[in-house]
Amino acid sequence: MKKFLLVSCTLLGLAPGLRAQTGSRLAPTTAISTATPYAADFAEAYRLYPVIPRGMLEAVAYTQTHIRHIGAEEQASCMGMPLPAGVMGLIADGKGHFRENLRLVAQLSDVSVERIKADPRSNILAYAAAYARLANERQLRANMPARHLPVLLALSELPLDRDALGTFALDSHLYSVLTFLTRPENQSRYGFPDYKLDLPAIFGANYRVLSAGTTQVSERQVQAEGQVFDPGGSTYSLTSSTDYGPALTNLTTCNFSSRSGTAITHYAIHTVQGTYAGCISWFKNCSSSVSAHYVVRSSDGQVTQMVTEANKAWHIGSENPYTIGTEHEGYVNDASWYTTAMYTSSAALARDIVGSGYGISGLRTFYGAATTGTFSTGACVKIKGHQHFPNQTHTDPGVNWDWERFYTLVNNAPTVSTLTAATGTLYDAGGPSANYPDDVRQCQLIAPTGASSVRLTFSSFDLENAYDHLLVYNGANNQAPLLGKFSGTTNPGTLTASSGKMYLELRSDCATTRAGFAASWSSVGGGTASCPTDSYEANETLAAGKSIGVNVNNLAYVCPATDVDWYQFTSSSTNNNIKVTLSTLPADYELQLYTAGGTLLYSSTSASTTAETIVYNGAPAATYYVRVYGYNGATSNTTAYTLRVSTQATAWAAPETPAFASRQAAEKPQVSITNPVQSGDRAWLSVTGYDGPAEIQLRNTQGQPLGAGFRTKLATGQPVRYALPGGLQPGVYLVMVQLSTHVEYLRLLVQ
């Protein structure tokens, strides 16, 4: 404790000369033009204080506020947590629990509290001045950010506790800041170097808990994936003095109570109005008198359990006895906190609650429009926001939470009926004569083989108005563009899916059924036939390659789009000049020649329907393999290609298109993915020659979708991290990447 007091006096006892110097550095400067928020202010801070590692200020600001100025008009937290101030997320009133780091920053920088709170530039530069003072005192270097952890801890608002939950909260803060610095997309956007930070080495054995998808918190410990978080081995404990902070014990035990026999029937979604680490710490504070069962981190979706489900957490007032509640890091007025990782993780948690025997159906998840106000949905909707429960004043998760996306992630494995005929009639779940039932999720995919468009005309339509809905999409699933969301008795008329596929999803609630709908479809270019059979299937691998003769024509199909055909033939020592041709092509097909050991010898990749030719003169007598496939999913179920292997004693003339001739980079963008990856991990997608939207869908080798699609933006030089669906078995998969220009199929090996 003596050491802490000495350090505090040293930090706060600024010389007048230094106070004047730091204050004068806040004079206005000329802003620079850039797309990143407050870039001119951060750039000025690094110029004034070169001891600060570039990127560190943005990392702290992103962890605290997603680099957004938190002003006085910000909505208060429904948990009673104090709101931070400014871009750097500083606390003025810690409510007896948080350290008031805004006041510390004001003292170190000689800038007034009011100015730091009101002005984003002053907020950033004052924090930078305080940071630089502490870093210089420790003789730190800007190129070694891993040694700056004591400065991050000194300027954090989190209590310097020594128990398991306190050290975990502090290490979570450090983990979030350093993780920001390790990401290539951040390094590119904010212009800082790759510091080669080794997070497993920095956090030691606790790294596994900090980076886990789910953590569990009990009265005395935090654990994840079978490993217990070690407070004594935490980075915070190893970085700071053992005399540094007060000891608070078992604080989580004071903010929950018994349900007194009340059954769990509902699940509530909240937004913290603060950070993940701050929320964990606040729930330990006995004076806060609030808690939730779970907290979800924005950056990677990590989940921390704060109260057991069997007990009543204090998160939603009069509705506490029958609810489970989860807080989501972030702010209702800033959609950037609601990341794909957060949605995915939160939905997985919801699915677990659905499967826990409480009688909460995933089909009872709210999927209406996000709003800013409060309104009660009634007891029928079981999974919904704080704002949707009765007797509430808080409006989280607010207008930026995507309820439709959350619904589809919670209900991520629907049964889909696929209709491949060129024409036909479909009905609701009640069939042509009966009403549809309650709690229905009926999914139908109209996908005539080879269709260029689908047209659907309703002859009748009657759904419970505003409660039951039919959603229709222009594509193969509910991630495709929405053609319409229909309810009541107004007939939708005729709908057209220009993609050649139309996806319908009927959802009904827990009460009141109606007659439903009947509709007929037709298609352009569609037929009833699926992929035609040929005598060579199945031949999807080299080991399954079918034998073919030389100097004869072989006819086969590339169908479906993921089909790959392998063939084998044997050459002789006399007729040792080989020519392989692929002709009568209905689409852009490719041709490759391999040795029996799987080594690629030649490849022909002519564009469009130009015939492919490979010549191998002087080939040793041996068995060879030929591979035929469609470029980027090219396929046909109506026209067969012709494959011919010709041999002769004299050499063949070289083909007009050289082997391995590649398409010009400007013709089509190219997408690549890291290989291999571990099951449950993430892969990096990179693109060249493209900047625009993309939709990513993992499929099996038969082309069937696995999990929900992922929408993102791809750009040259900006890799995107793709989280694989859970539960994948080791093996080979296809990653379909839909660009605005075309579709690419990538092979992915999961180990």
Query: Who wins on pLDDT, 308 or 148?
Result: 148
Q: If we measure between CA atoms, which residue out of 539, 90, 118 comes closest to residue 275? A: 90
Three-class SS of 678-699? CCCCEEEEEEECCEEEEEEEEE
Residue entry with tokens 């789009």: 561
CATH of the structural domain 416-524, one choice from 3.40.190.10, 3.90.1750.10, 2.60.120.290, 1.10.220.150: 2.60.120.290
For the 546-648 domain, the top CATH level (class) is mainly beta
CB neighbours of residue 360 within 10 Å: 20
251-410: in CATH 3.40.80.10: yes
pLDDT value, residue 722 = 82
Half-sphere exposure of 433 (CA within 13 A, CB side): 0
Q: In what order do the strands lie in the sheet with 494-497?
A: 424-427, 516-524, 453-462, 494-497
Q: How far is CA 541 from its chain centroid?
A: 32
CB 300 within 8 A of CB 340: no
Question: Alpha-carbon distance 648 to 632, whole Å?
Answer: 34
Q: What is the mean predicted confidence (pLDDT) over 720-746?
A: 75
CB 132 within 8 A of CB 49: yes
Give 3-state DSSP helix, strand, coil % of the chain, rounded to 5: 25, 25, 50
pLDDT value, residue 25 = 28
Q: Which amino acid is at 135?
A: A
Beta strands 294-296; 546-547: pairing state: unpaired
Q: Is 467 helix (H, G, I), strand (E, B) or coil?
A: coil
Q: How confident is the model at residue 628 (pLDDT cuts 50, 70, 90)?
A: very high
Question: Alpha-carbon distance 290 to 308, whole Å?
Answer: 14
Q: How far is CA 179 from its chain centroid?
A: 16
pLDDT value, residue 88 = 98
Q: Measured between alpha carbons, how far apart are the two ends of the chain, in Å?
A: 51
- Tens of pLDDT, residue by residue over 112-170, are 999 999 999 999 999 999 999 988 877 889 999 999 998 999 899 999 887 888 899 99
Query: 321 CB contacts (<8 Å, ≥6 apart)?
Result: 259, 260, 262, 312
- Whether residue 666 has pLDDT greater than 70: no
pLDDT value, residue 744 = 74
131-150 in b/e form (b: 16+ CB < 10 A) is bbbbbeeeebebeebbebbb
Q: What is the mean predicted confidence (pLDDT) over 597-625?
A: 86
The two domains 251-410 and 670-750 share their CATH topology (first three levels equal): no
| Domain residue spans of the chain | 2-200, 251-410, 416-524, 546-648, 670-750
pLDDT value, residue 588 = 84
User: What is the maximum span of the chain, computed from C-alpha positions, in angstroms?
Assistant: 96
What share of the chain in percent tops pLDDT 70? 89
Question: Alpha-carbon distance 451 to 594, whole Å?
Answer: 35
For the CA atoms of 661, 663, 669, 674, what is the dihedral angle to 10 degrees?
Answer: -10
CB neighbours of residue 258 within 10 Å: 10
CATH of region 670-750:
2.60.40.1930
Query: 533 CB contacts (<8 Å, ≥6 apart)?
Result: none
Mean pLDDT lowest among 60-69, 356-365, 495-504: 356-365
pLDDT value, residue 490 = 96
- Tens of pLDDT, residue by residue over 420-436, are 888 888 999 998 888 99
C-alpha distances (whole Å) from 570 to each of 110, 511, 551, 619, 628 are: 84, 69, 12, 11, 18
Residues facing residue 671 across a β-bridge: 687
Task: Output the pTM of the full model.
Answer: 0.58
The kind and range of the H/E element at 60 are: helix 56-65
